[in-house]
Structure 1
Amino acid sequence: MSLVAGPRKGRSKLFWVAVWALVIGSVVYAPIAMTAIWPYASPGAPSLGPDVLERATDYSYVHDALIDRQPVYDKNIPALLVHTIGGGLLMLLGPAQLLSVVRRRRRLHRTVGVVYAVTVYVSMIGALIYLMTTPMAEVFSGPVFSIALTTILIGTVMSVTFGLVALAQGQIQMHFRWMALNYAFLMTAPVLRLEWGVLKQFHPEATLAEVNMMSVMNQGGLVVFAAAVASRMLDSRRPAPGIKGTWLPWPAFIGSAFFCLVALIPIGVVFHSWGASGDRLFAYFAVPYLAAAAVMIWCIVRSTRAGRTLASEEWRWQLFLLCGVPGLALALAFAFQNWLGQDSATALTAAVAVSWGVSAFGAFMMIGLRLYLGTRAAEKVSISRRQALSTETADPERESELVDAR
């Protein structure tokens, strides 16, 4: 079985542009991640991230946000060093995995894959220790970011675990999907740093903490959407074994779209009640959200017309569960406010930030279930046909008829 479905020569220029953009971005960010905690562990040590951000923005924007972090980080220096150095290493291993799989270098892919999976678990253990031993209010940018980081941690661990399970089951294409999602979760770190610089240009008056709030409203969903695009690029099969029709006819989307609007409107009203800052936060969620929905609709229509049943079903699940984001956000906001003791603004902001990624994760689970059941159904049909053929050839009278027919 080939590592990647589809001929290598048939890959589009857009595919290679995306691959090399990811490779370059990851390699550039790796030393920034590795040196993030060094100044706190050893005062005076270089920290590339703040230095680069300071040159792109201004001194006070960066250092006012970091000035009170030393007492917090002092409690968890070893765990944070494990997390950040491991994260930097993953920024190098991820592109190596991608290039090895698209170039079909199996031995390299398997070797790097083992190191990658181990590094993910070790790095996330460091993050878990930090989050469990640090009060939510003391986490960088406060409770909203603490909840978002915890969600990303869970998604990262679950996606690499599901990827390993899929590989053990022989579900190679689903393995690629889970690993693409896993790396997408890891890419929230460099995307966040990029938005720190870009959003500051649009909002010069905003502090780094305020820019962080804008960023978490959309980046989780955007990177998971990118993982969905990557999974389609890695699995170029038109049909897939055992997948016929769809589990999601158009009436299902009508109901989900209505549910989406019913929940989205009160969310917008609540954000608007907070004034200009609330309108800004809602815009940084709603605009990318609606744009992603529009792209998914276009992908469904295009793939359906082209007869690419697998792509159509995959985008259908992404869109269907995307419509559930506002409703999930309202439910999570209620939970965060009542179970975690957060105020209504913090609860709703964190809920919106988390719900997009959670819903998209669910879409990956459903397409994984479709592929698994489809493969098993195709295998049963194949076994039945072989048994029928074996029975026919084992029957002397039937065998004589077959000889006469020849």
Structure 2
Amino acid sequence: MNIVVGVTGGIAAYKTVHLVRLLTKGGHDVTVVPTEDALRFVGLPTWEAISRHAVTTSVHDDVAKVRHVALGQNAELVIVAPATANSIAKMAAGLADDLLGTTLLATEAPVLIAPAMHAEMWRNRATQANITTLRERGVHVVGPADGELAGGDSGPGRMSEPEEIFAAAQALLTPGDLAGVRVVVSAGGTREPIDPVRFLGNRSSGRQGAALAAEAAARGAEVTLVSANISGEVLAEVRHPSIRVVSVGTAAELSEAMTHESSLADVVVMAAAVADYRPAAVSERKLTKEGGGIPAIELVENEDIVAALASQRRSGQLVVGFAAETPEDASELLARARRKQHRKRVDLLIVNEVGWERGFESPENAVHILGPNGADAGSASGSKRAVAAAIWDAIARAR
């Protein structure tokens, strides 16, 4: 495949050298198009040596072959890594003041960008608006990750690792194994109101479920993501033309949405963290300390949504459940998971050990996958997108 790799002026450019190496070793013909600022971080000889092609930043080189247009016309995929805040803004505005800009405007191939910048720049409303614009135009976005940044800072903005960008590129270049498959994924955590101010909830950020939706869409599926209280920042990271988002709040709303959306689905993935209980009565006014005493809150059990979905599954439909556990050891984890899978009658169960510092609110995850009838279907760890890929591999094998 003919791939153009655009490199913009960020310190993460050093990681793109490994990405180009992965692409060339994978049998792809890679042309590197750096910006002038990118060459301040990694020099031109390195790009030429690693890509095995001459490299230039100028629109005035090789004019006879109309290089500034031909690169984009001939590309089967264009990757921009790192994509700085400035380069993302230029892409959103359609600027073409250098060779990379003209290449991006001239191409009709898929475009994949890997944002990299400081957390404040990533969170800035201008950057988020630009990312939204690019996503709406069909640009694919991988990352950024949440981690250590240049200068010792930490937060969202770290460029995804080369292996993850390579995997995303491969997914765009090969026919999706989920093409034509209708998928419904629930994600996030339900909130059960106590009064107009307070609620019973959990620490789920929805990142794993959102990653599952994004991975399914990247592999060709038509996806409905039922979002239970997921932040706009997380949803922005997985926006895709093939993902439709339905927002819910409580367990009852989630149940209604999942029942409706799952009726025609081929695969149902229940990744949301559902409150087991809800208050029997919701106060119309905020509960206060005035008058003394501690209010007694009676709880009632919520419906087991995934068990209900499994009991009413149509022929050929696959239902996947999740289990977050805090066991004493691995053997107890799997024993508890197999009992839960049998009780809920789901086809696959994804089980992960959670705690104060793992599972929830973390950029990474580790899961064990139980296949049909409790069979060991493997394990996965790493970024939540990498875990999502392993889960879909297991689902594909079970279908």
Q: Which has the higher strand share?
A: 2
Whose RCO is larger (CA < 8 A, sep 6+)? 1
Q: TM-score, normalised by structure 2?
A: 0.28
Q: Which has the higher helix share?
A: 1
Q: TM-score, normalised by structure 1?
A: 0.28
